[in-house]
A and B are shown apart, each in its own frame.
Chain A
Amino acid sequence: MATKASERQTWTRPTAFYNRYVKWAVYLVIVAFLLWSLYDMRISTQRLLAGWDSAVDLVTSMFPPELTPFKRSLLLKGMAESVAMAVVATVAGVVISLPVAFMAAENIAPRPVYWVGRGFITVSRSFHELIVAIIVVKAVGFGALAGVIALSFKTIGFFAKLLAEDIEDIDAGQMEAVSATGANQSQTLIFGVIPQVLPRIVGLTIYRWDINIRHSTVVGIVGAGGIGATLINSFGKYDYDYSLTIILAIVAVVIVGELVSAYVRGRIR
C-alpha cells in the first residue's frame, strides 16, 4: 500500500472549475468581455487629458475654501439639518425594524410571517438611497421630510436583516428554558431572546446612525434636504470655493460620527 502510494510523483491542485478547459474558457470570456467594454466606451487619451486639465482647473478654483459669516451660517444650518435627519431617521427606522427583524428570524417566526418579514427587508434593500429619495421627493416634496423617510426606509433593510441573522444565531436552550416555566411567547421573547441580542441592537443602532449621517449628506443632492442641497447649489452657482468648504465639513462630520460609533460599539461587548 505504502509503496504504491509513494510512486505517484505528480500532484495538481484541484480546480474550482470542472476541469482546466472550462477554467481557461471562463478566463477567456472574462478577458473578451473586458476588451469589448473598453472598446464600447472608447476612452480616448485625448479626453482623458482634457478631463485631467479641467479637473485641475476645478480644484485650483476651489482654493482657498471660502467661509464668510453668511456662508458659515448657511453651512451650519445645512449640516444641522443633515445630522438631525440622520438621528430622526435612525430612531424611526430602528423602531420599525425591530418587529420586522423578529418577523424575519427563521427560528422564531412562523413560516408565513417569516416570508413577510423577509419581503420587507428585500424591498428595502433593493433600491439605492438616491433612488428612494427621488421617489419620496416626488411624493412629499423637497425638504428634510423626504430625506428622513428615505433614510428610515433604507434603515429597515440594513438593521432588520442583520438583527434577524443574529436572532437566528441565539442559544435556543436559553429561550427553551424560559418557555418551559410556562411563560407566554411575548414573555419568552422578553426574557429569553432580547437579552441575548440587546448588545447587538445597541451596536447596530449606533452603526446605522453613523451610516445615516453619511447618507444624509448625499440625499440632499436630489432635493431631500440637508447639507447635500447646499452643496449642489454651490456647484450650480460655480461657487467652488464654498463647495470645498462644504466637502471638508462633511468629511469632518463623518469622521466624528465614525469615531463616536467605533468608541460606543467598542464599549458594548
Chain B
Amino acid sequence: MLSVHDLEKTYSSGDRALRGVSLEVTGNETVAVIGPSGAGKSTFIRCINRLTEPTGGSVELDGVEVTGLSGDRLREVRRDMGMIFQEFNLVERLTVMENVLSGRLGYVSTWKAFRRSFSGEDIARAYEVLDRVGLAGHENDRADELSGGQRQRVGIARAVVQRPKILLVDEPTSSLDPETSRAVMDLLTEIAAEDDIPVLINIHEVELARSYSDRIVGLRDGEKVFEGSPAELDERARDGIYRGADAGTGSAAEVGAQTSSDASSGEGKIRRG
C-alpha cells in the first residue's frame, strides 16, 4: 500500500509544484492522476520514488517511510517501485534484454552488472516478461530499432521484472498513437490484475483515464481538486480540474468532451501535455 501525506514540492525557482497532496493507493487498483500541464502530475509521481526530492510531507510504501531514506535504503525501496516513462527512457544502444535485465540491477553486484552476469532465474524471468508484453524473439534487438509501442512495452517489461509492489507510470501514452495507447493501457491494467499490484498513472487523456482506471484524482496548481470514481467525473468536475471553475457551484460554462482537439478552445487555460 502506498500512502502519501501532504506532499509538498517547492522548486528552487520558488515555483510551488505541489501544495500538500495526499493519496492512498492499495490492492490492485488503477489510479489515474489527471490535470492540465503544469498541475504537478509528473512532479507528484517523481517525488514518490524520489527522482525529484519533495520538500515536505511523507511517502510510505508498505509501512516503509520513503522520504528521508538515502543510500542503500533508498535503493532498496526503489526496487519495489517500477517506473514507466513518457519518453520510454530505454538505454537506446543496449539490447532489449539488457534493458529488461536492468530492472534487476538492484539485486546484483556492480561487477556482475558490468559483465552482464545475471542469475539464471533473472534471465528466465526476463524471457517470461518479454513474452508477456508481446516481444518474444526481440531480446537481441537494439532498443533504438524498435517502434514506439514496442519501446514502451520494453519499458513496461523493465518495470515488471523488478517484481515491484507498485507501478508508477508517467504519461505512458503521450508519445504513442491512439491505438497503441489503448494496447499499452490494456497491458498495464492486465499486469495490475495478474500480479495483484496497484498502478498509479499520470495521464492527460481524460477518456483513457475514465475507461481504464478505478479511481481518478484531479490535480490543479499542485492541489488535489478532485478524487472519485470515473463515473463521478462529470463535466463540472472536469471544469474544476481544467479551468479552475468551482466544481461545487455548478457555474461552469458548457464544456465539450475533453478530447485533445479542444485544447485550443477556452481562454488558453487548457494546456496539455
Contacts and interface: CB of A to CB of B under 8 A. Distances in A.
A199 B155 CA distance: 24
Interface in B87-131: 87, 89-94, 98, 102-106, 108, 110, 113-114
Interface stretch (A122-130, A170-178, A236-244): A170-178
Nearest to B168: A180
Contacts of A171: 89, 92
Among A174, A181, A190, A198, the one with the most B-chain Cβ atoms within 10 Å of its Cβ is A181
B269 interface: no
Nearest to A191: B102
A182 B110 contact: no
B78 interface: yes
A123 to B, nearest CB: 30
Contact of A190 (B49, B93, B104, B110): B110
A178 B91 contact: yes
Given A181-B78, A183-B106, A191-B105, A174 B114 contact: no
Interface residues of A, number: 21
B93 A196 contact: yes
A119 interface: no
A181 B102 contact: yes
A93 interface: no
B85 A177 contact: yes
Contact of B79 (A178, A182, A198): A182
A187 interface: yes
A195 B94 contact: yes
Tell me the dominant secondary structure on chain A's binding face. Answer: helix
A178 B108 CA distance: 13
A117 interface: no
A181 B93 contact: no
A198 B87 CA distance: 22
Interface string A161-202: 000000000010110111111111011001110011011000
Contact of A182 (B91, B98, B162): B162
Contact of A174 (B78, B89, B103, B106): B89
Contacts of A182: 75-79, 105-106, 162
Given A181-B105, A181-B158, A195-B94, A173 B89 contact: yes
Contacts of B77: 182
A231 B102 CA distance: 55
A171 B144 CA distance: 13
Nearest to B98: A191
B51 interface: yes
A179 B103 CA distance: 10
B106 A181 contact: yes
Contacts of A184: 75, 105, 110
Contacts, number: 83
A187 B113 contact: yes
Contacts of B103: 181
Contacts of B233: none
Interface in A131-189: 171, 173-174, 176-184, 186-187
Contacts of A195: 91-94
Contacts of B114: 190
B75 to A, nearest CB: 5
Contacts of B92: 171, 174, 195-196
Contacts of A177: 83, 85, 89-91, 102, 155, 158
A182 to B, nearest CB: 3
B89 A190 contact: no
Given A173-B89, A178-B105, A195-B93, A190 B113 contact: yes
A187 B159 CA distance: 17
Interface string B149-162: 00000010011001
A195 B155 CA distance: 17
A177 B92 CA distance: 12
A191 to B, nearest CB: 5
Given A184-B110, A196-B91, A178 B85 contact: no
B110 A187 contact: yes
19 contacts: A173-B89, A174-B89, A174-B92, A176-B51, A177-B91, A177-B155, A178-B91, A180-B51, A180-B83, A181-B103, A181-B105, A181-B106, A182-B77, A183-B105, A186-B113, A187-B108, A191-B105, A191-B113, A199-B93
Interface of A: 171, 173-174, 176-184, 186-187, 190-192, 195-196, 198-199
Interface of B: 49, 51, 75-79, 81-83, 85, 87, 89-94, 98, 102-106, 108, 110, 113-114, 155, 158-159, 162
